[in-house]
Amino acid sequence: MHPQYMLIILATALYTLALFAYTFYNFPWLLSKKKPTVYQVTLRKSDLPIVIVSDLHVGSSRSSYKYFLALLKAVKPTTLVIAGDLIDEKMLVSEKMLKLLKIFSLYAKNVFYTPSTSNHDIAPQPILISLEEDRKRVAIASPILRLCIEGCFSCIYITHGDHASRNGILAHFLETISQKLLLKPFIGGVLRRILGVNSEDWVIYGHSHKAYFSSFWRSINTGCWVSRTHESMQMALALAMCISGNIDAKLLKLS
């Protein structure tokens, strides 16, 4: 065989191998049969309402973190959950992260944080850190936090969303295609399947920077608080209550 054809075959084989390797890396659920660790916390009715936000990207010059902080001071939710990418730089769970969470605890009784597993603020897997001081609670739970409420039959699964696709840009693209063509969320659908979420429970996440709400799929994407060259800022908050024994969740778009 001509050496040129040999090089073409070799290059094709290497490209195919690299493509398969990246696919299984980016979509870890394709090969793994093991469910991610889920930490369950049961709240009291007095801990309501719950506000969920994600992708603040503190430290970026394009982040609207200060606007969110002003909003937090005005609203003062009882329970605040941040679903990943709190900090724009790539770092492990650190003292800097805890200081930010303690700032949030000035305006919320409970502050929960679910770091991403592959993006910016990375946490060892699995991890549960809970600090209580002056009747305030700050907790870091990764990869999945399941919030239940006393007297409520349904719960909320909260995570960053990169279990569905590690690459955020690809996740944004897949969410767009899935929502428009299939009328369903890509990340929310994958998370419900790999976690075995029942039909009454909600899944709330971020990661793709694309705000989304579906009462049918019980899925909410809380958008992002930073603008990028390939996407606009989609500031949003999820608000959750327990009404008549079930979770009632809404998405409030601010941009």
Q: Tell me, yes or no, if the pTM score tops 0.85.
A: yes
Which residues of the chain register pLDDT less than 50? none
CA atoms of 138 and 240, how far apart (whole Å): 19
H/E element, 201: none
Q: pLDDT at position 33, please?
A: 79
The pLDDT assigned to 252 comes to: 93
C-alpha distance from residue 12 to each of 4, 6, 8, 20, 26 (Å): 12, 10, 6, 12, 21
pLDDT of residue 146: 96
- Between CA 23 and CA 62 the distance in angstroms is 30
Per-residue model confidence (pLDDT) at position 89: 75
Please report, for the chain, the start and end positions of each structural domain, with discontinuous segments joined by +.
1-34, 35-253
CA proximity to 112, closest of 156, 62, 169, 52: 52
Q: Taking the mean position of all CA atoms in its chain, how far away is CA 176?
A: 17
In the CATH hierarchy, which fold is given to the domain comprising 35-253?
Purple Acid Phosphatase; chain A, domain 2 (3.60.21)
